[in-house]
């Protein structure tokens, strides 16, 4: 190989090394950014004033600096809620650093004593899983505008025998320490529940001033 050929050979070799190094660095940066990328922010939970099953007032300040999972339900629901409340009980056992907030969409019937009985049935820890009731207008506004979840009371004339009196979104909402909704999860989907477990832990580890 003459001198000119050797120079060209080494030049090509150097170029391939640089390109390989750049590709490796790009791939590493991409994977690192993927791993560190935050979950999206869907909405900000507005301040609210409701009543906990214990009878004490409860608002957003009680959850300041905490990661929590919110859901809507009502105690005499015959379809969705009997399946979702046990899911929350399981999450309570597996996510030690997460709080839970279950808000009734039928506050007229779901008084604090009714909610206290329900909480006892599912072994809800008083300082971790809160059951809330209060003014219906406040609850529906919270559901629609803070959690982006549809809810309505179905008039009697629109119901057929066996229909529930309320329709509400059954998803679980993951809320970060700033009161921002970061994800929605179908409690009847095993993959979604596994994803909630993982993403809740990610939110717990996020830096918070």
Considering the chain, what percentage of its residues have pLDDT values greater than 70?
77
| Domains of the chain, residue spans | 1-37, 43-205
pTM value is 0.79
Q: Return the closest-CA partner of residue 55 out of 151, 132, 2, 128.
A: 132
Is 176 buried (19+), middle (13-18) or exposed (0-12) by CB count in 10 A? buried
Q: What is the pLDDT of residues 57-94, one digit of tens each?
A: 999 999 999 999 999 998 988 878 888 999 999 999 99
Q: Does domain 43-205 have CATH number 3.40.50.2300?
A: no
Distance between CA atoms of 194 and 8, rounded to whole angstroms?
55
Q: How confident is the model at residue 152 (pLDDT cuts 50, 70, 90)?
A: confident
């Amino acid at each position: 190989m003459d001198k000119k050929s050797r120079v060209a050979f080494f030049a090509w070799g150097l170029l391939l090394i640089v390109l390989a190094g750049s590709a490796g660095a790009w791939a590493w940066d991409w994977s690192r950014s993927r791993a560190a990328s935050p979950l999206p922010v869907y909405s900000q939970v507005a301040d609210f004033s409701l009543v906990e099953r214990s009878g004490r007032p409860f608002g957003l300040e009680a959850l300041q600096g905490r990661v929590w999972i919110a859901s809507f339900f009502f105690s005499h629901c015959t379809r969705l809620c009997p399946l979702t409340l046990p899911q929350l009980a399981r999450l309570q056992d597996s996510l030690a650093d997460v709080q839970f907030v279950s808000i009734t969409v039928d506050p007229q019937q779901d008084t604090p004593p009714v909610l206290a009985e329900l909480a006892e049935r599912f072994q809800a820890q008083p300082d971790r899983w809160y059951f809330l009731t209060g003014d219906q207008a406040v609850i529906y506004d919270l559901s629609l505008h803070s959690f982006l979840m549809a809810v309505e009371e179905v008039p009697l004339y629109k119901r057929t025998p066996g229909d529930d009196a309320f329709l509400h979104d059954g998803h679980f909402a993951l809320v970060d320490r700033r009161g921002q909704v970061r994800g929605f999860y179908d409690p009847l989907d095993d993959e979604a529940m596994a994803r909630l477990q993982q993403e809740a832990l990610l939110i717990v580890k996020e830096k918070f001033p």
